[in-house]
Amino acid sequence: MNVNLSDELSNYFPMLKVATMEVKNLENKKLCEELEIEKRKIESEIRKNSKIYLESDIITKYSTFFKKFGNKYPIEYQIKSIAEGKSFPSQYTVVESMFMAELKNMYLTAGHDLDLVEGELNTKIAKGDETYINISDKEMRLKAGDIVTIDGTGIISSVLYGPDRRTRINEKTRNYLFFAYFPYGKKK
């Protein structure tokens, strides 16, 4: 799937990277024993090396973006939680796999039901007057300077507030779009 980046976004974040991955015809199971084993391995790795994770360049770069808005990078918080003994939350296997990849690689990722994404995708800088319903069913007003992706119907994700409710992955989803943002290189 092509993603159009606005000129303003490219000028503001000259080193911005956006990555997408489509996965098709995959059942979204409730439980997978092999996945449970892999979750425990990642948890163990994070607990043993949490300092390395938390001091990584990746966390530092994302944190710079989030701090600008008075927020904390969610993956940093999640790594700290696992380091303190918490476990991965149980969800459907595809969402769990995405979450595991996020924590292992520390890259912020949004997951969507590909069949619910309409038209082409456009990623741009938020003006601060846009709103959408996030995955938790809350209306979110975007902050000026946030990075947002829009399909033909509306906002599908924001770096600060995550994916939308309309295109969320559910138990019936079989075709997926994963969208990762790398908001590096902000101009001063």
Task: Say how far apart CA 183 and CA 178 lie, in whole Å.
Answer: 16
Please indicate, yes or no, whether the overall pTM of this predicted structure exceeds 0.85: yes
Give the pLDDT confidence score for residue 17 in this predicted structure. Answer: 86
Counted residue by residue, the chain has a size of 188
pLDDT digits (tens, 9 = 90+) for 145-163: 999 999 999 999 999 999 9
Architecture of domain 3-182: 3-Layer(bba) Sandwich (3.50)
Tokens of residue 30, six digits? 């409730």
User: What pLDDT sits at residue 154?
Assistant: 97
Tell me the one-letter amino acid at 99: F
